[in-house]
Amino acid sequence: MPLPKVCRPLIAFAVVLLSGQVATAGAAPPNVVWIIADDMSPDTGAYGHEGVRTPHLDRLAAEGVRYSRAYASAPVCSSSRSAFILGCYQTTTGLHAHEVENPQPLAAPYQPLPELLRKAGYFVTNASAPGDPAKKRKGKTHYNFAHDANEMYDGDDWRQRKPGQPFFAQFQIYQPHRPFPIPEEFEEAALRELKLPANYPDHPLMRRDWYAYLRSVEIVDRRVGLVLAELETAGELDNTIVMFFADHGRAMPWGKQWLTAEGLRVPLIIRGPGVAAVVEERLVSLIDLAPTVLRLAGLMAPSWMEGRAILGAAFPDRSEIFAARDRCGDAQDRIRAVITHDELFVRNFQPELPYLNWSSYKEGSYPSMPLLRELNRLGALNPLQARYLADHKPAVELYDLKADPTGVYDVAEKPENARRITEKQAVLTRWIESTGDRGALPDPPTEPTLAEMQRGKRKGYHAVWEKRGLPSEPTDAERLKWWLKNYRLPVSETAP
């Protein structure tokens, strides 16, 4: 049964609004749990995705708020994580580059959410969610700033707190980050029923890679179930606000690292005492989560936080939010985006760079990278798919999310959209100037040069393929045959 649509989510703990702050009517501050998945789009049953089994996430959605328009502020791990743990855009703090080699301490006045809560008396933890095959409790941080785990966290197990002490527990789930576990068996019926986005070629390898991704999403769901069971066993589930989200979209060629609907839109589900079972359709950014937790804890968000609380106060009914992509490992690029309810506007500051700008990470772990180039070489891609393999990008892109929810059809060149583009350009320029976007500045002197980073990443890329039994610089055809073999598909001299 579809859930009702409402304008504003509700929050319990008997909150009352006092001059814009949240106070609890004689109740202790709530416990808060974050469950964070890596590299996951809203690919669950509750979000309408067919062919994936996610009963625990669907339960959360049925019992809480499911946000249908939640977006990361960056389409890559460390940039996004640096933003949502601080509650402000990574471009404002200078933490926008992914994979910082020599992270520096945060400049004043910035402080991460765990430290703020710890100072307020919360017991703060960070751990890998139960079910980690490596059986490690240590949780991922991956922030672009130097931090002391002993100062930021009290440990890795919230159950070690003092009696009655409120806790803020983060559970990190590595899945569905690549490499996806390749299933022992591929269900033929499920493979046939997979619905690939229109900008991806319908090829057996693409289908099997997508299938492996969805099975990895199911691993996420099982681990979420273990977190919920841990809370329930301890008698704390019904006293705790649980927030599930992903750090950015799925690790597919036009998802992760790109300011696309696929790269930015994430699942966000919040469940807890008194949280109504509703669907919230207004815009949410992951930078809203830190100020939300502070408000639930009865604390004022610092003035430097750019996010807005989405529980416990009037919902921030904004007309737009923003996102940014900068250097991702050894792939340099600068892109900015404005997201409204019905549109995604993208400005490419370096349009001379192609979408397939070299990324050692992607070239070593995405089977679709050599597949796309080989299919393009053979003329086997349709115009929509082939546009991503051009040797340059357009200066601006515009996607009508109302007519095209997946955001794959660029309508920027249509004459009737000229005014809308001009308006979005102005909105983006104002945001860049008002926030002091630091993306145009050179990397700090503490960082290696781009050329040095690229040389280092290339060595890692060489090691990956040598370990797989191929030359250090294998051709696309060689790499494609390796992937076909590993996904148990026929390999021929004329692949694909």
pLDDT in tens, 383-442: 999 999 999 999 999 999 999 999 999 999 999 999 999 999 999 999 999 999 999 999
- Residue 493: its pLDDT value, please? 67
pLDDT score of 22: 32
pTM over 0.85: yes
Cα separation, 207 vs 256, in Å, equals 18
Contacts of 256 (CB under 8 A, 6+ apart): 39, 75, 76, 248, 249, 250, 263
Instruction: Read off the pLDDT of residues 482-495 as tens digits, 9 standing for 90 and up.
Output: 999 999 999 986 67
What is the DSSP secondary-structure string of 281-302?
-S-EEGGGHHHHHHHHTT-PPP
DSSP 326: -
E-assigned strand segments in 176-227: none
Can you tell me whether residue 364 is helix, strand or coil? helix
Q: Is a pLDDT exceeding 80 seen at residue 18? A: no
Is residue 176 reached through a cis peptide bond, with omega within 30 degrees of 0 on the bond before it?
yes
428-462: b (≥16 Cβ within 10 Å) or e: beebbeebebbbeeebeeebeeeeebbeebbeebb
- CA dihedral angle for residue 438, residue 399, residue 320, residue 443, rounded to 10 degrees: -10
Could you tell me the CA-to-CA distances from 337 to 2, 39, 91, 136, 166 in Å, in that order? 31, 19, 12, 37, 38
How many Cα atoms within 13 Å fall on the side-chain side of residue 338?
24
Task: Map out the domains of the chain as residue ranges.
Answer: 15-314
Least confident of 8-12, 362-366, 471-475: 8-12
The CATH fold assigned to 15-314 is Alkaline Phosphatase, subunit A (3.40.720)
Classify each residue of 236-266 as buried b or exposed e, where b means 16 or more C-beta atoms within 10 Å of its C-beta: bbebbbbbbbbbbbbbbbbbbbbbbbbbbbb
